[in-house]
């Protein structure tokens, strides 16, 4: 699924990474605990989170996550956007709650990072 499709499905606002719309995302994870994200080892992944601080971007970078969706309409901080732009990570924001955002994306073909689930 391309980032531009995720934007459309979640009616998301793009805060950074407008030029990454054609990038393919193959799997997703959702968490507010970055330690859980660190246990998730997949590249080309989407992170769905309600946590809004620079650590989210740093964690995404370490895990080769190329797109972050902030849920519940949260907006990234200036620090988050600066790091994301430097690292080539898209930041989106959606009014959906985390569970609903996951459901919409899963129902439209985006798989979980763990193929056993």
Give the separation between CA 89 and CA 97, rounded to whole angstroms: 21
pLDDT interval class at 113 (50, 70, 90)? low
- Spatial distance between the Cα atoms of 53 and 42, rounded to a whole number of angstroms: 22
Residue 89 and residue 17 in contact, taking contact as beta carbons nearer than 8 Å: yes
- pTM of the predicted model, to two decimals? 0.91
Burial class (CB in 10 A: 0-12, 13-18, 19+), 104: middle
Structural domains in the chain plus CATH codes? 3-112 (3.40.1390.20)
Within 10 angstroms of residue 106's Cβ, the number of other Cβ atoms is: 12
- How far apart, in whole angstroms, are the C-alpha atoms of residue 79 and residue 53? 8
**CA distances (Å), origin 105, targets 1, 44, 115:** 9, 15, 15
Please say if the pLDDT value at position 40 is more than 80: no
The predicted-structure confidence for 57-99, as pLDDT tens digits, reads as follows 999 999 989 999 999 999 999 999 999 999 999 999 999 999 9
What percent of the chain has pLDDT above 70?
91
> Residue 2: beta bridge partners?
24
Contact present, 38 and 63 (Cβ < 8 Å): yes
- What value does the mean pLDDT of the chain take? 91
């Amino acid at each position: 699924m391309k980032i531009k499709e995720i934007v459309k499905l979640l009616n998301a606002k793009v805060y950074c990474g407008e030029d990454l719309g054609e990038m393919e995302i193959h799997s997703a994870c959702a968490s507010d605990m970055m330690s859980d994200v660190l246990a998730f080892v997949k590249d080309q992944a989407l992170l769905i989170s309600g946590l809004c601080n620079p650590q989210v971007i740093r964690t995404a970078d370490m895990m080769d996550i190329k797109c972050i969706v902030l849920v519940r309409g949260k907006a990234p901080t200036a620090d988050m956007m600066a790091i994301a732009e430097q690292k080539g990570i898209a930041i989106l924001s959606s009014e959906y709650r985390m569970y609903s955002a996951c459901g919409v994306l899963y129902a439209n073909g985006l798989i979980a990072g763990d193929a056993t689930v």
